[in-house]
Amino acid sequence: MTDKNLQFEIEKLKENLKKLRRKKGYSLEKVARLADLSLNTIVKIENGVNKNPTIETLTKIAKALDVGVDDLIK
């Protein structure tokens, strides 16, 4: 994957996370709590700072938002 493609994927992930979180009416803190992740982790992903979240992390976030991982990355 090229740097340009990776940047596009990161943009999609952060946009989808923000959109899905807001649709549920969840704060960053609530997603972190429900996903059993640190607030810092959620903030970094949503801001595009964490450019390589693990599948385990994405699975926890998806479960917290009651969506599939594919909804986060599509």
- 46: CATH: 1.10.260.40
Identify the band that residue 54 occupies on the pLDDT scale cut at 50, 70 and 90.
very high
Distance, CA of 28 to CA of 62 (rounded, Å): 13
Instruction: Tell whether pTM > 0.85.
Output: yes
pLDDT at 1 over 80: no
Q: Which domain holds residue 64?
A: 3-73
Domain count, the chain: 1
Q: Is 74 exposed, middle or buried (CB count within 10 Å of its CB: 0-12, 13-18, 19+)?
A: exposed
Summarize the confidence of residues 40-49 as an average pLDDT.
Answer: 95
Distance, CA of 65 to CA of 35 (rounded, Å): 8
For residue 37, give the nearest of 20, 24, 50 by alpha carbon. 50
